[in-house]
Chain A
Amino acid sequence: MSGAELIRGAGLIKRFGGIVANDTVEFAVVEGDLVGLIGPNGSGKTTLINMLTGHLVPDGGDVVLRGRQMRDRPAHVYAAMGVARTFQLTQLFSRMTVLENLLVPGLTRPHSTWQAEVRRAREYLDFLNLAHLEQLHAKNLSGGQQKLLELGRCLMLEPAILFLDEPFAGVHPHLRDELIKRIQELHKAGRTFVVVDHDMESILRVSQRLVVMARGRKIADGPPAEVRADQAVLAAYAGL
């Protein structure tokens, strides 16, 4: 980890009724990172992302974004400060066109204009191979195309960090490869990513650093090769 710290979850705790979804989790991401966040079902990955993007208020601990304490701040403030995210189950503006889906985040940026944002949105649609679909309603796209569009919506924020929650789930292998390629290109161009997924093969293909969660706790954090050999990780995945 070499760049400046972008975001840090400091001792994050989240409970749902009697269940502790996140138990004093420490999680930091620096500029230029490409972090894979893995763990079995119910390990607390999405809860952690929800807290780090302002969609859930922690019961304990705090999120520090570029040195600012973010407790109780709404999600749109995180977005304005360069935090973008996708959702586990794709959440698009279904009855709006592909182009409009990208214009929404674009036009929330200060000093943005329609013309400039339309131009930028078309550039991203070209990059994501969705240009020919710009007037289609988002609900009419295939599952993989919807994942790409959600990524495009994130990019319109020109974010410092992108949290992708299960971007490869249910995606055709061809589109999954395309998605991985795009993530790698964007990372090379300087974007920071946190990618959550169950698909170990895809995660290992993209990530430089692997964080493993189990039962609401972080159990491993380091280079993928090292983490793969970790006994605690193997035990968690074997359900021990």
Chain B
Amino acid sequence: MRGLHVYILLAAAALALLFADQLTSYWMHVAIIAMFYGILASSWSLLAGYAGLFSLGHMAFASIGGYASGLLVQWYGIPIPLGMAAGVALCCTLGGLIGWVCLRMSGPYLAIFTLGFAEIVRITFATEDDITSGMAGLHVERLFDTPSRLPYFYTAFGLLAVSLLLMGGIVRSRWGLFLRAIREDEQAASASGVAVARFRILAFAIASGFAGLAGGFYGHYIGILTPSLGGLDLMALLVVMTVIGGMERLPTAVGGAFVVEFLLELLRGYGQWRLPLFGIVLLLTMRFARNGLLTPLWLKFVQLGEPRAAAATAARDVPQKDSAQ
């Protein structure tokens, strides 16, 4: 039975939605934050894992999306979804611009450039007290006027599902193939007819847009935004999540976000020592499982219900084997 994994995922999603109200408020919050990171990890995977553009400015875009939406709602009284959409549009534009500026950069140069951009954004939000309330934090109108976290759970779930569907569509299309070709060898990709500059800019714009969406949701969920959202600490956490899960597949990146976020909570008793633990796991992952710890599990999972011969035939029929299933 081909596609059994899809039915299992759908069933798991249905169960999560049905029994979400059984979660305590605390664990529901953890799940919502895990889904927030899930959107960020999968979009960073699109940028760094698929296109090979190792940007350290992803959390800065989440921050820009959050502040843009929060401020627009505060200043003009527009509906929150419209504010979030404006944040996404701004992040897409800025992301495309950053992609254009660093067209000729890759590897450490790109990482340092985007890190510089992220710091500029963070410091600007921290120092422009009159507009952003600086380090005191910007109070943002909440998405739902209720103390319950359940509506936020459903919203985060919906946003993550839609984001994965859209990004999954991209990586399974010819665009995904071109992004991977660019990751492998830009010169060979351009010799093969791929408009490398256009696709690099597109990858930045799309990934930044999703980061902005996650940031917008976060702001309207937590109710307060501080410049630390775009800081290096959270960017490092995002890298840890994505790399541990597996940065070259969207589902494994999301899985990494969930695993790390839940483990961070479960190991809270160890205080700050849990952070070096994740550092060690990251080192071991890079040394022994560069495709991520969850990738082998995911590959076994997607083959569930497929006889070996059928799996081989399926591989022939679906040329983009490496894309998200």
Contacts and interface: CB of A to CB of B under 8 A. Distances in A.
B191 interface: yes
Given A74-B197, A103-B177, A108 B192 contact: yes
Interface string A102-131: 011101110000100010000000000000
A87 B189 CA distance: 12
Nearest to A99: B319
A76 B177 contact: no
A74 B119 CA distance: 33
A231 to B, nearest CB: 37
Contact of B193 (A80, A100, A134, A135): A80
Given A104-B178, A108-B193, A91 B185 contact: yes
Contacts of A107: 174, 177-178
Given A92-B185, A93-B180, A94-B184, A105 B192 contact: yes
A79 interface: yes
B49 to A, nearest CB: 11
Interface string A62-85: 000000000000111001100011
Interface residues of B, number: 24
Nearest to B178: A104
Interface string B191-210: 11111110000000000000
Given A55-B187, A107-B177, A96 B322 contact: yes
A85 B185 contact: no
> Quick one: which of B190, B194, B197, B322 has the most chain A CB within 10 A?
B190
Given A96-B322, A100-B319, A55 B194 contact: no
Contacts of A108: 178, 192-194
Interface string A32-52: 000000000000000000000
> Quick one: which of A55, A74, A107 has the most chain B CB within 10 A?
A107
B188 interface: yes
Contacts of B319: 97, 99-100, 103, 114, 118
A95 interface: yes
Interface residues of A, number: 33
Nearest to B189: A104
Given A93-B181, A94-B184, A96-B184, A104 B315 contact: no
Contact of B188 (A87, A134, A156, A157): A87
Nearest to B195: A76
Contacts of A87: 187-188, 191
Interface in B277-325: 315-316, 319-322
A61 to B, nearest CB: 21
A53 interface: yes
Nearest to A121: B319
A134 B181 CA distance: 16
A191 interface: no
> Quick one: which of B174, B188, B196, B320 has the most chain A CB within 10 A?
B188
B196 A76 contact: yes
A79 B193 CA distance: 5
A185 B188 CA distance: 25
A85 B193 CA distance: 11
B171 to A, nearest CB: 13
Contacts of A95: 180, 184, 322
Contacts of A53: 191
Contacts of A156: 192
A135 B312 CA distance: 9
B177 to A, nearest CB: 6
25 contacts: A54-B190, A75-B187, A75-B191, A76-B192, A76-B195, A85-B191, A91-B188, A91-B191, A92-B185, A93-B180, A93-B185, A94-B184, A95-B180, A95-B184, A96-B181, A96-B322, A100-B321, A104-B189, A104-B192, A107-B174, A107-B177, A107-B178, A108-B178, A114-B319, A118-B319
Given A76-B191, A93-B180, A107-B174, 6 more contacts: A55-B191, A74-B195, A74-B197, A75-B191, A76-B192, A104-B189
Interface of B: 174, 177-178, 180-181, 184-185, 187-197, 315-316, 319-322
